[in-house]
Amino acid sequence: MLKEFAWKAFENTGDITTYMFFKEIEEKAKAVRETEIARDEVASTHH
Q: What pTM does this model have?
A: 0.77
| 1-47: pLDDT as tens digits | 899 999 999 999 999 999 999 999 999 999 999 999 999 999 888 76
The pLDDT value given to residue 39: 94
The pLDDT value given to residue 22: 98
The pLDDT value given to residue 47: 65
CA distance to 4, 15, 20, 24, 36, per residue, from 30 (Å):
15, 23, 15, 10, 10
The pLDDT value given to residue 16: 98
The pLDDT value given to residue 43: 87
Q: What number of other Cβ atoms are within 10 A of residue 35's Cβ?
A: 10
What is the DSSP code string of 16-36?
Answer: HHHHHHHHHHHHHHHHHHHHH
